Amino acid sequence: MPKNIYGFQYGKYGETRAIIAKETGLGLMANNYTNKGSAFSLKERTALDLDGALPPTPRTLKTQVTNSAIKVAGKEDDIERFIYIRALFDRNVTLAHALISSEIKHYMGIIYTPTVGLACQRYSTIFRRANGIHFYPGNINNAEEILKRYHHRDIRVAVVTDNQGILGIGDQGAGGIAICLGKLMLYTEGAGIAPWHCLPVSLDVGTNNKSLLEADDYLGWRHERLTGDDYITFVQQFARAFRAIFPNALCQWEDFSKQNAFAIRDTYLHDLISFNDDIQGTGAITLAAILTAIKIKKEKLQKQIFLVHGAGAGGVGIAEQLKTALVEKGLSLAQAVERIFTLDSRGMVTTERELEPYKKKFAKDPAKLGWYKDSRDGELLNVIKKAEVTILIGTSGQGGCFTKEVILAMAGNSNRPIILPLSNPTDKTEALPRDIHTWTEGKALVATGSPFAPVSFQGRKYPVSQCNNVFIFPGVGLGVIASGAREVLPSFFTAAARAVSDHVSPKAMKNGELLPPVEELSKISLNVAQTVGETAIREDVGSLCAFSEFQHNNDPKRLRELIINMRWRPEYLPVISQTGPP
């Protein structure tokens, strides 16, 4: 096992107060957690055997950020900017996060969507330095020993992918770990979970992407994907090892294929502290936008009729979250499901069809509808008209399928229809916000999956809110960790959605904005964490935070104190020699 040259000194809230240097000298500059580059003070240089290793005048973190921003701006395209920021992270995590924090909206588009999709596709060619863990059939039997190498980092959250369902671009093999890296950077930016407490994990079970298998420089396991019992056994081996080594850590499943996403989430619902962001995070952020729209309309959620066009992981996840929210509003389970329609590529999902298990829960019995005679009646436009849909949600990936006729049908059902074309990237969005506002004469309430500039219509500007999961998962993770929750409940995501919606100001709602600005990410994540933590305590799945001496004792005020103080900020920590402070 490699020797660790550093450790951490914690405060009573579980926050990192200092880095303990177990060895001094140039090794500290080679490690991205201990390195400060030119910002090591003269006193630190002397105490840590770095005297003479750096030019004599120290720089401030602020100056380092300014210089880094200039270098990023000078790169020729976003993939080169991605490479630069990742390389900066590999040298100096504090500086990398200070840079991202300085302009979160701008840099988020580089470290995550949309640029991270290119990073996945080019992973083998842009590989610079190992990050995280790659499990494959050749080492999965040693999973516990491999995970133990990271035990000193006090892992609190892991993002785990099998690389198959990446960002609408599908199976990317070993490259999928770039998604995990990006998500964990957002955990740090939003929730303040220190980078050393984060672990990206790739379950490399092979790839069916022929272009990768045929590429000379492909770094992943060169086999077609494991399936059936072999796949299940592989995931089981990882789950057992993770639970054994990090029993208190949160495991976020990411970018699995549709059926595997639901099967794995449900299998480990009680065995791991885990959730699937593609299912539950997507459901929560969509619910947040809908809750804001309902406030604008001054209507009730339980009076709406929902149609989710696209019954994949995201679409069914949205339907699940709507069902949970409707039941919390007093509807029975059957009444809630009755108000939610799902469509896939074959039209409305009905019980007369042979269905994947995850689609069955929202399948409609044609005999109970009255207006459904054959499959043609299950087409999008007809369902909108006959079911009198008031909220239309797109997760189909079919660009332009919300036609003018579809949008006008929605306007016929409601004076302010809620229309959420969530597929991304931009060319896959179901309808452009400009068209929706034009066709409804500015009456529609719109949020999208991709970022769009404000729409100008008849002398008025309509901002376009983006349904971005980043408002949800960092806060959920922090709330779970701080509350000591032993499982992740569906109600956590309803609570998170309400917390996000509550951040939309009256002025913003008047402008038709359904979600808050991403510049408020840190504040939003704090309140999401608080709401989720309180929900865990109220529903009796919270215990004592395993990462802190300070315990919340089921008191919301003490819980907030814990959450606030355990968050890491991108500021240089003292580096203390094991033999004494510098």
The distance from CA 451 to its chain's CA centroid, rounded to whole angstroms, is 16
Q: Which of 6, 36, 150, 183 is catalytic?
A: 183
Does 10 participate in catalysis according to the annotation? no
CA dihedral 308, 311, 315, 317 (to 10 degrees): 120
Does 183 participate in catalysis according to the annotation? yes
Q: Which of 112, 187, 462, 572 is catalytic?
A: 112
**Taking the CB of residue 368, how many other CB atoms lie within 10 A of it?**
9
* Orientation of helix 282-297 relative to helix 313-328, angle to 10°: 50
| Residue 92 half-sphere exposure toward CB, CA atoms < 13 A | 23
- List helix spans (H) across 192-273: 210-213, 228-245, 258-267
Task: List Cα–Cα distances, 217 to 127, 199, 211, 213, 368, in angstroms.
Answer: 10, 25, 11, 9, 56
226 phi/psi in degrees, rounded to 5: -65, 145
- At 556, list the tokens: 């919301």
**Taking the CB of residue 546, how many other CB atoms lie within 10 A of it?**
13
d(CA 327, CA 318): 14
Task: Give the DSSP H or E segment for 21.
Answer: strand 16-21
d(CA 402, CA 398): 9
Strand pairing category for 347-348 and 273-276: unpaired
- At 278, list the tokens: 């593609």
Return the active site residues: 112, 183
